[in-house]
Amino acid sequence: MVTELARAREIAAAVADPELPALTIGELGMVRDVTETADGIEVAITPTYNGCPAMGMIALAIEATLLEAGFSRVAVRIVREPAWTTDWIGAQAREKLRAAGIAPPAPRTAGCLAPAALACPRCGSAETEEIAPFGATACKSLWRCRACREPFEHFKCH
């Protein structure tokens, strides 16, 4: 039998990221902890970026989803330590990113800031080049593939 806390954890982790709707906040590695306190359910999340404008929306979505699922009191706490890293994005989530046309981040190394070439998420070719280091959001850069001629986004390592 699933405990109420485990159910809350599952529901919180399944909330979609507003800027990457293909992924859940659980898959992105943002959910630190779900606990039961005297004040109800507390969900601790780590922001992917200090200035992530989606944090407010994510917190609201967690609260709304849990309230809808029957939990009466819900609080969201922001935890900044340890800092989030793209290394916390799971393997399955990386595949989902690729399927959504976004080249997933490389493992965090010294050189990952400026990758020389990325595999095109559409055709797999390594004949790609960076167009702009910032895209529609700060966490992505813009690339194009010289083989299939398609532009694509890259989730930068962080």
Residue 131 near another protein by CB under 8 A: yes
Phi, psi for 123 (deg, rounded to 5): -110, -10
* Cβ pair 29, 17 in contact under 8 A: no
* Cβ pair 57, 21 in contact under 8 A: no
Q: How far is the CB of 78 from another protein (least distance, A)?
A: 9
> Would you mind telling me the total number of residues written for the chain in this entry?
158
Beta bridge partners of 145: 128
Q: Which is nearer to another protein, 8 or 76 (CB)?
A: 76
Residue 102 near another protein by CB under 8 A: no
Q: Rounded to an integer, what is the distance from CA 2 to the centroid of its chain?
A: 26
| CA dist., res. 149 & res. 135, Å (int) | 18
Q: Which is nearer to another protein, 71 or 84 (CB)?
A: 84
Instruction: Write the interaction track for another protein spanning residues 26-65; mark x where CB under 8 A is met and - where it is not.
Output: ---------------------x-xxxxx------------
Residue 138 near another protein by CB under 8 A: yes
Residue 132 near another protein by CB under 8 A: yes
* Residues within window 67-96 making contact with another protein, judged by CB under 8 A: 79-84
* Cβ pair 89, 104 in contact under 8 A: yes
Q: Rounded to an integer, what is the distance from CA 47 to the centroid of its chain?
A: 9
* Count of CB atoms situated within 10 Å of the CB of 150: 16
Residue 114 near another protein by CB under 8 A: yes
Residue 106 near another protein by CB under 8 A: no
Residue 147 near another protein by CB under 8 A: no
Provide the binding-site residues for another protein, judged by CB under 8 A.
Answer: 47, 49-53, 79-84, 113-114, 131-138, 142, 156, 158
